[in-house]
Amino acid sequence: MGSSETVTGNTPTPLTLGDRTFRSRLFVGTGKYSDAETMNAALEASGCEVVTVAIRRVDLNSGDNLLSQLDREKYFLLPNTAGCFNAEDAIRVCQLSRELGLGDWVKLEVLGDRKTLLPDPVGTLEACRELVNDGFKVLVYSSDDPVLALRLQDAGATSVMPAGSPIGSGQGILNSNNLAIILEQLEVPVIIDAGVGTASDVTIAMELGAEGVLLNTGIAGAKDPVAMAHAMRHALDAGWFASRAGRIPRRRYAQASSPTEGVLGE
């Protein structure tokens, strides 16, 4: 939490995760775009450096893949284990990702249920431990449970990434109290992952003290993804500065902004 650090300049400071530093605190997914041109324009507008990708069976009938048109030099590709419902499959995907030349950084997801896409806490913790032992840098998708978040930190996660609300739900931050507890307790950077519907959700996450936000559908599913990407970028900056600016306390009653003396007629 940054209330003690000095705020200078007009952009947030870079984000340090493990031994790497990223210029943008907004991580953006590459799924669900209608075409590569829109995806590239939205990523550009978001100002992101880290983009998430998935590992899937190649389509043997078509060589067409939006991602072949992504500028690999420009972005840091963070492979996810989306779609894995047990630790074993998630670990397999991470090893395949390494074989694909994507390195040791992974976004670990072990899902517990197809309808909610909420994480399986037991499988997530098990996979996190094994992957850390195998030398992976694990950014781990978690629920907003403060106890699980602590366990994942203890397991060696590089970042714990609690969901604001279910993946793709657009419900924003549902349990800000739990997230505030997680942010207070954890020493590793916390990134809010999933559930972002619009720009204000990103600001709220950052005002709570998150080190960053990861989102996909909020941009890709918007009517105008490029405009929404632009909004998300500024929303993140707004929240980052606000969290460090020392907000005023909430009061029940009004407090006049103009001088109370010298009012005509008194």
Which sequence positions are flagged as catalytic? Answer: 107
Return the number of the residue (139 or 155) whose C-beta is nearest another protein.
139
For residue 28, give the amino acid letter. V
Binding track over 24-43 against another protein, x by CB under 8 A: -----xxxxx-----x----
List the one residue from 8, 9, 10, 57 that touches another protein (CB under 8 A): 57
Residue 63, classified by CB atoms within 10 Å of its CB into exposed (0-12), middle (13-18) or buried (19+), is: exposed
Cβ-based neighbour number of residue 59 at 10 Å: 9
118 is a contact residue toward another protein (CB under 8 A): no
In angstroms, give the least distance from the CB of 24 to another protein. 17
Q: Are strands 137-142 and 159-162 parallel, antiparallel or unpaired?
A: parallel
- Tell me phi and psi for residue 26, to 5 degrees: -100, 120
HSE-up of residue 44 (Cα within 13 Å, Cβ side): 9
In angstroms, give the least distance from the CB of 74 to another protein. 15
Reduced to 3 states (helix: H, G, I; strand: E, B; else coil), residue 169 is coil
68 is a contact residue toward another protein (CB under 8 A): yes
Contact yes or no for 196/219 (Cβ under 8 A):
no
202 is a contact residue toward another protein (CB under 8 A): no
Report the alpha-carbon distance of residue 79 to residue 102 in Å, rounded: 7
77 is a contact residue toward another protein (CB under 8 A): yes
In angstroms, give the least distance from the CB of 28 to another protein. 9
- Among left, alpha and beta (phi > 0; psi -120 to 50; other), residue 103 is left
Q: Which stretch binds another protein (CB under 8 A): 4-12, 49-57, 147-155, 248-256?
A: 49-57
66 is a contact residue toward another protein (CB under 8 A): yes
List the one residue from 24, 40, 142, 217 that touches another protein (CB under 8 A): 217
Contact yes or no for 161/148 (Cβ under 8 A):
no
List the one residue from 7, 102, 174, 242 that touches another protein (CB under 8 A): 102
Give the interface with another protein as residue ranges (CB under 8 A): 29-33, 39, 52-63, 65-68, 77, 79-80, 82, 92, 95-97, 99-100, 102, 167-168, 215-217, 220
